[in-house]
Structure 1
Amino acid sequence: MKVLFVGDDWVGSNARSLADGFRQAGHEVVVIDTTSVTLPPRLSPPWVYSKFAHRRAPWDIEALHREIDSAAHTFKPDLLFAFKSVHLDQQRLLSAPAGLHVHYSPDDVSNPYNTSPEYLAHESAWDLIVTTKWHNVPELTARGAQHVKFVRSAYDPALHHITARRTVRRYLVGFVGAVRPDRQDLLVSLAREHHGDMLLRGPGWRRVRALWQTGADVGGAVYGEHFSAAVAAVTANLVLLNSDNRDTHTCRTFEVPAAGGLFVGERTDEHAELLQDGAECYLFSGPAELRDILRRCTKYPDQAAKVAEAGHHRIVTGAHSYADRAREILGALA
């Protein structure tokens, strides 16, 4: 198929990885980068406009749609694939010449933060809505979506793979992800307990005052292969979920074991289905159980390494790459 892919194209973005997944699955892909609209540079005029108007800059949206329209008329795609394009002009997206129009959302579409009034008004016009949340399937159907497909998140073999450590330092516990109220207290508590044996990477952690005197290694966001390098330096890599998305799995569910890291994550039905607790991962239901896991990792590091190796094998041989997800999506269209 000829796929016109509309989504963010920065290195490490899930949209770029999925676009590459379509190409790896054997399809011709042209990407239209939406980053100028979704992530305008801080303090730029579009960024300032979005803060005051609470919507994306219309001049950037217009420029992007001109690019989409031009590409669609020239490329003549069989499929226009929109990756979380809720801030774009839905009528123009749906009117772009293409055999099929598909919208993909990596987040909970019942959370208003992940939609827009215009998107909701046109949701039923898409040929297919793809969601990574099981609970969204009946909700989307009830809202009038024509067809809904559930696919899990994935990993990108080009970015998430076993890599050499970039430091001689080895951390007992680590987490890569953004600051969120539902995870901050736990991670601050762990930092106070483990000090220099804990690594934290992600947007916002450097601004958390409670971490400043803990001795934990705190840094900014890491993407792509830098993520895999961070995982390589940690014995127990935490997989924490986003309660606002009502997550039962997340991208880290696949990215951590694909990078060779020991998966230490919240216990959910999906996690238990994907990886065997105690043999391919360690699952916990609360702070006490997590601390017991960390004590075991300290006492039995060889066993922790074997569990990490088994989890890696399970994920990379289990059809969980973005190319696999592209095939699932196109299978639903067929």
Structure 2
Amino acid sequence: MLNILYFGDNWNYSTAYHRASALERIGHQVTHYHAEEGLPKFFKSSLIKAINFRSGYRLVQPFIQRKLKEILQSGIKPDVIWVDNGEFFGKRCLQILKQFNCPVILYSIDDPTGKRDGRRFDSLLGAITLYDAIAVVRNKTADDFKAMGAKKLIRVMMSYDEIAHAPYLYEEEIPVEFKSEVTFIGTWMRNENRDEFLNVLIDAGISVSIWGDRWAKSQHFSKLEPYYRGTSIGGRDYVAAIQGAKICLGLLSKGNRDLHTTRSMEVPYAGGLLCAERTSEHMELYQEGTEAVFWEDAHECAALCKKLLAESKIETIKKAGMKKVRTLKLGNEDICKLILEKGLSTAT
């Protein structure tokens, strides 16, 4: 059993919480801190959060450093420190963490060297060389970090959570408000053209249910609004929306250089039918047409959805996808085991 000092951040707090819980389930003792805990109220406003995001969290560095010093002075003796996503932790923060005299591992699910989020990761990028090991979910991120001098890189796939994303045992348990034909669960993002993609499906006569934040910002929202079911959902509602849909769309973030996403694992695990872009990584994960379905563009996606909805293969594909994702061992427990095994075998 390891004594793990675990730092989650605000952006991925729910997924960070799931990974911390997974570490506990596999037998480790986890002391968990939220990176924003203890920040002055000033930093909680939407405006200041936006400024922090766009400036690489420079303004919060003195406060985060002070908190880390308090933890250091508390006398806690971790065997390993796990930093999840790391956008709040700059170079000086890592220098403080190194004083615990144990390996420090970063798990980076985002794309810090990509272009989508501007300067959001400036603080993190200044600290890359101080981590003993870094786990990433993109080959391009791994290449960039290696060029920046990262000590040890571990390439993993994104993951589902064995507990949080477990399907309902019986279909009748799924609340009727979460049942749909085709669903997309995700945020509207500028320059990602997700709204235009969904418009193609709507024009093809497909009833699309949309869950997520910021969709009112879309210039096409007046057309999308009748299909909009509400803001972002989590917990059992998230599982219900996946399992209760006949088809679940998996849209990638081009700005994040995605070839797969967490949805690629969560949807089949939760009992949904994954309908996603045909990428090299999706093709490696699932057999097309039997374990998941793939498309090249919105028009092919629309035709594929209409064909599936008219046939009787949906339940067969759902069951095959659910079986396959479990054999791949891509749950949080397995991924966390892998990161610790590889990270601690070489971290100094």
* TM-score (norm: length of structure 1): 0.88
Between stretches 209-218 and 238-247, larger displacement belongs to 209-218
Runs of 4+ in 1 over 6 A off after TM superposition: 9-12
Q: CA deviation at 1:168?
A: 6.0
Mapped contact 2:200–2:299 kept (Cα < 8 A): no
User: For residues 274-305 of structure 1, what are the alpha-carbon distances to aligned partners after superposition, in whole Å with 9 as ceiling and x for unaligned?
Assistant: 111111100111223212211222211x3111
Aligned mates of 1:21, 1:9 — CA distance in 2: 18
Aligned mates of 1:221, 1:31 — CA distance in 2: 25
Q: CA deviation at 1:30?
A: 0.6
Q: CA deviation at 1:326?
A: 0.7
Could you list the runs of 5+ residues in structure 2 that have no partner in the other structure?
none
Candidates 310, 315, 324, aligned match of 1:314:
324
User: For residues 20-75 of structure 1, what are the alpha-carbon distances to aligned partners after superposition, in whole Å with 9 as ceiling and x for unaligned?
Assistant: 122122211111102456x954447x437648x835474x5444444333334432
Mapped contact 1:11–1:223 kept (Cα < 8 A): no
Does the C-alpha gap of structure 1 residues 293 and 18 become closer, same or farther in structure 2, counting only changes over 3 Å? same
Aligned mates of 2:310, 2:288 — CA distance in 1: 18
Mapped contact 1:231–1:260 kept (Cα < 8 A): yes
Candidates 165, 174, 197, aligned match of 1:186:
197
Q: CA deviation at 1:205?
A: 1.6
Between stretches 225-234 and 184-193, larger displacement belongs to 184-193
Does the C-alpha gap of structure 1 residues 178 and 49 become closer, same or farther in structure 2, counting only changes over 3 Å? closer
For 1:244, the equivalent position in structure 2 comes to 255
Candidates 157, 163, 167, aligned match of 1:158:
163
Candidates 106, 109, 114, aligned match of 2:109:
106
The one-letter code sitting in structure 1 at the alignment partner of 2:154 is K
For 2:341, the equivalent position in structure 1 comes to 331
RMSD: 2.6
Does the C-alpha gap of structure 1 residues 115 and 331 become closer, same or farther in structure 2, counting only changes over 3 Å? farther
Candidates 267, 291, 296, aligned match of 1:280:
291
User: For residues 133-185 of structure 1, what are the alpha-carbon distances to aligned partners after superposition, in whole Å with 9 as ceiling and x for unaligned?
Assistant: 12222221111111111111101122212123211674221100111232221
Does the C-alpha gap of structure 1 residues 209 and 111 become closer, same or farther in structure 2, counting only changes over 3 Å? closer
1:222 aligns with 2:238: no
- Paired residues in the alignment total 328
For 1:253, the equivalent position in structure 2 comes to 264
Candidates 115, 135, 138, aligned match of 1:133:
138
Between stretches 107-116 and 228-237, larger displacement belongs to 107-116
1:23 aligns with 2:28: no
Aligned mates of 2:107, 2:276 — CA distance in 1: 25
* TM-score (norm: length of structure 2): 0.85
**Helix, strand or coil: the match of 1:250?**
coil
User: For residues 99-141 of structure 1, what are the alpha-carbon distances to aligned partners after superposition, in whole Å with 9 as ceiling and x for unaligned?
Assistant: 1011221112322537544433331121111111122222211
Does the C-alpha gap of structure 1 residues 48 and 118 become closer, same or farther in structure 2, counting only changes over 3 Å? closer
1:298 aligns with 2:301: no
1:77 aligns with 2:93: no
